[in-house]
Structure 1
Amino acid sequence: MISMSSIWPLFDLQLTTPRLELRPITDQDIPAAVDAARSGIHDAARSPFSTPWTELPDDELGPNMARWYWRCRGGFSPEDWTLLLGIWHEGQFIGCQDVGAKDFALLKTVSTGSWLKQSAQGRGLGAEMRAAVVLWAFDWLGADVAESEAADWNAASLGVSRILGYELNGTTRQAWGTQVETVQKVRVTPATFKRPDWTLQVEGHEAAAKFLNVT
Structure 2
Amino acid sequence: MFSVSLGDDNAELRPLEPWRAEEFLAHVDRGREHIGRYIGLADAVTDLESSRSFLRQYAERAASDTGRIFGIWVDDQLVGGVLFRTMDVPGGTAEAGCWLEPSAVGRGLVTRAARVIIDWAIEERGIHRVEWHVASANRPSIAVAQRLGMVRDGVLRESTLHRGERQDVEVWSVLAPEWRAAKRAG
Q: If the TM-score is normalised by the length of the shorter chain, which range does it land in? A: 0.7 to 0.9
Contact 1:15 1:22 survives alignment (8 Å): yes
SS in structure 1 of the partner of residue 67 of structure 2: strand
SS in structure 2 of the partner of residue 81 of structure 1: coil
Contact 2:17 2:56 survives alignment (8 Å): no
Structure number, greater radius of gyration: 1
Contact 2:135 2:170 survives alignment (8 Å): yes
- For 1:13 and 1:142, the matched residues in 2 are separated by 21
Contact 1:54 1:61 survives alignment (8 Å): no
- For 2:139 and 2:115, the matched residues in 1 are separated by 18
Partner residue of 2:56? 70
Partner residue of 1:83? 68
Partner residue of 1:47? 37
Q: CA deviation at 1:27?
A: 3.2
Partner residue of 2:108? 124
- For 1:153 and 1:127, the matched residues in 2 are separated by 18
Contiguous gaps of at least 5 residues in structure 2: none
SS in structure 1 of the partner of residue 25 of structure 2: helix
Partner residue of 2:145? 161
Q: CA deviation at 1:95?
A: 1.4
SS in structure 2 of the partner of residue 160 of structure 1: helix
Give the AA of the match of 2:124. Answer: W
Partner residue of 1:27? 18
SS in structure 1 of the partner of residue 177 of structure 2: coil
TM-score, normalisation: structure 1: 0.72
Q: CA deviation at 1:112?
A: 0.9
Pairwise CA RMSD = 2.7
Partner residue of 1:136? 120
- For 2:87 and 2:110, the matched residues in 1 are separated by 24
Which of 6, 9, 22 is the matching residue for 1:17? 6
Q: Note the 1:129-208 alignment, pairs <5 A.
A: 129-172=113-156, 173-193=159-179, 194-195=182-183
Give the AA of the match of 2:139. Answer: A
Task: Work out which structure has the larger RCO, using CA pairs closer than 8 Å and 6 or more positions apart in sequence.
Answer: 1
